């Protein structure tokens, strides 16, 4: 049973003690996902829910079952259910998170089965975001970003709480800027995380393996937050410390249980229900880092999650400059380029794991330095800005170069046809 944080000094709660206490969550998620995946595969094959090869991006040689995300979902739900019985010392995983997981998974499942319109998928993701906002998960992140502006806008608003009072004949309607800004941040995180994970899911074992590496980093930060003192006036037992660790352990176990089936050559794919689910749970954990407005820890979490962010940024800019719809896929993602350069799927996948690990080390190190040393929070912001600034510039340069190469090849093709 986890140590009772109300009876211990925060520094006396050890990381290893927490890992031992929550090991059952990992074990349940791993075993359930490992055993359920073959059953889901058989159901998908019988229902002909398969991904068929083509001559463009889908290079597998035979139809492969979809719906692997349902096995991951089963592992997550089973592990979270067990956590409510073994983690009574901490606040459990909020129901809004579980509701969001269900909304994301079944929205993706509907798309896998019936090919939903992208607008319907976005609607399902927004339902999951609304559930988080309803229980204030991630809302306070906006407070950390907007509070420094309070003194500047106080003369205009008449208060430093960033609340606008709209006068009406029967009284006033207060509009909390922080709450609504936080809700918008949640929506951006959920939409971005789900779709970034989906775009990265392009090779056997790629997304699931990258998520394993990412979650190890998120778990390290979660453990550091649990063993370090909570902000003044905050009861550690009522914080989301336990919920963060449970989600990390559950996701890690579920994905590791699924990965042997998904690694090259894959016998089953995640499908949209799985890729969206993995992205959603990752961004929920990152949002939980800002439980008390610690935006610097959220930035550290985003650095850990950088590989999906980089790949999505490259894809958006590449398609925008080429004038193609965002929903139209291509074979110019990072993993496709690595595969062509290295000559095999497995080498490209391991290279992506290594790149992810570099970002994980940077993100965890920054979070640890802020929590355990005198490193100023602004340093994290500066490093994050530099990293994502480089990503943006490289994305633009790469997209322009690819567009130019495509234009040159098109001109050569026209010349050859004229000859």
Task: Specify if 403 maps to a domain.
Answer: no
Contact 217, 286 (CB under 8 A): no
Q: In the structure encoding, which two tokens stand for residue 262, read together?
A: 């998904």
Cα separation, 419 vs 110, in Å, equals 50
Residue-level pLDDT at 8: 44
Task: Specify if 92 maps to a domain.
Answer: yes
Residue-level pLDDT at 418: 47
Number of domains, the chain = 1
Task: Specify if 141 maps to a domain.
Answer: yes
Cα separation, 80 vs 98, in Å, equals 9
Burial class (CB in 10 A: 0-12, 13-18, 19+), 378: exposed
Contact 228, 11 (CB under 8 A): yes
Cα separation, 289 vs 302, in Å, equals 10
Residue-level pLDDT at 112: 86
Our CA angle for 241, 243, 248, nearest 5°, is 100
List of residues 6+ apart from 100 with CB closer than 8 A: 127, 128, 129, 131, 132, 190, 280, 284
Cα separation, 408 vs 404, in Å, equals 6
Burial class (CB in 10 A: 0-12, 13-18, 19+), 314: buried
Residue-level pLDDT at 257: 96
Task: Specify if 177 maps to a domain.
Answer: yes
Task: Specify if 372 maps to a domain.
Answer: no
Per-residue pLDDT tens listing for the chain (419 residues): 555 554 444 434 677 878 888 899 999 999 999 999 999 999 988 888 887 766 555 555 667 888 899 999 999 999 999 998 875 567 789 999 999 999 999 999 998 888 888 888 899 999 999 999 888 888 777 666 666 555 555 555 555 566 666 666 766 666 667 777 778 889 999 999 999 999 898 888 999 999 999 999 999 999 998 887 666 556 666 678 889 999 999 999 999 999 999 998 888 999 899 999 999 999 999 999 988 878 888 888 999 999 999 888 888 877 777 666 666 666 667 777 788 888 788 898 999 999 899 899 989 988 888 887 766 667 776 777 787 777 667 667 766 776 666 555 544 444 444 44
Contact 165, 158 (CB under 8 A): yes
Residue-level pLDDT at 226: 85
Task: Specify if 63 maps to a domain.
Answer: yes
CA dihedral 221, 226, 232, 236 (to 10 degrees): 140
Q: Which H or E element spans position 65?
A: strand 64-65
List of residues 6+ apart from 411 with CB closer than 8 A: none
This prediction's pTM: 0.85
Sign of the alpha-carbon dihedral angle for 206, 208, 210, 213: negative
Task: Specify if 352 maps to a domain.
Answer: no
Cα separation, 328 vs 351, in Å, equals 26
Range of the domain at 202: 10-289
Task: Specify if 274 maps to a domain.
Answer: yes
Residue-level pLDDT at 148: 59
Tokens 């606040």 sit on residue: 91
Sign of the alpha-carbon dihedral angle for 320, 324, 326, 332: negative
């Amino acid at each position: 049973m986890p140590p009772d944080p109300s009876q211990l000094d925060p520094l006396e709660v050890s990381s290893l003690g927490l890992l031992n206490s929550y090991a059952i969550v990992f074990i349940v998620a791993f075993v359930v996902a490992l055993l359920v995946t073959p059953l889901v595969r058989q159901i998908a094959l019988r229902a002909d829910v398969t991904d068929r090869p083509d001559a463009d991006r889908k290079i597998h040689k035979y139809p492969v079952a979809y719906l692997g995300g349902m096995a991951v979902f089963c592992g997550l739900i089973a592990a979270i259910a067990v956590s409510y019985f073994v983690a009574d010392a901490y606040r459990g995983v909020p129901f809004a998170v579980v509701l969001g997981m269900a909304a994301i998974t079944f929205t993706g499942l509907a798309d896998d089965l019936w090919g939903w319109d992208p607008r319907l998928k976005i609607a399902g993701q927004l339902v999951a975001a609304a559930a988080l906002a309803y229980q204030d998960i991630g809302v306070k992140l906006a407070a950390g970003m907007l509070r420094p502006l309070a003194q500047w806008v106080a003369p205009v608003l008449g208060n430093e709480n960033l609340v606008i009072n709209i006068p009406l004949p029967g009284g006033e309607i207060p509009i909390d800027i922080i709450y609504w800004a936080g809700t918008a941040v949640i929506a951006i995180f959920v939409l971005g995380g789900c779709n970034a994970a989906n775009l990265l899911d392009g090779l056997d074992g790629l997304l699931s393996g990258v998520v394993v590496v990412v979650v190890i980093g998120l778990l390290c930060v979660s453990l550091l937050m649990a063993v370090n003192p909570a902000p003044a006036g905050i009861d550690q037992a009522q914080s989301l410390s336990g919920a963060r660790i449970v989600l990390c352990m559950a996701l890690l176990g579920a994905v590791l249980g699924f990965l042997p089936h998904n690694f090259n050559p894959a016998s089953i794919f995640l499908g949209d229900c799985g890729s969206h689910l993995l992205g959603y749970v990752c961004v929920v954990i990152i949002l939980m880092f800002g439980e008390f407005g610690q935006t610097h820890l959220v930035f550290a979490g985003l650095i850990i999650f950088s590989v999906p962010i980089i790949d999505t940024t490259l894809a958006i800019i590449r398609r925008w400059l080429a004038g193609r719809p965002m929903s139209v896929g291509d074979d110019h993602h990072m993993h496709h380029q690595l595969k062509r350069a290295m000559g095999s799927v497995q080498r490209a996948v391991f290279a992506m794991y290594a790149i992810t690990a570099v970002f994980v080390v940077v993100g965890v190190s920054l979070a640890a330095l802020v929590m355990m040393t005198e490193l100023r929070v602004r340093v994290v912001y500066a490093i994050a800005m530099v990293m994502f600034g480089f990503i943006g510039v490289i994305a633009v340069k790469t997209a322009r170069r690819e567009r130019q190469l495509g234009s040159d090849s098109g001109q050569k093709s026209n010349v050859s046809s004229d000859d």
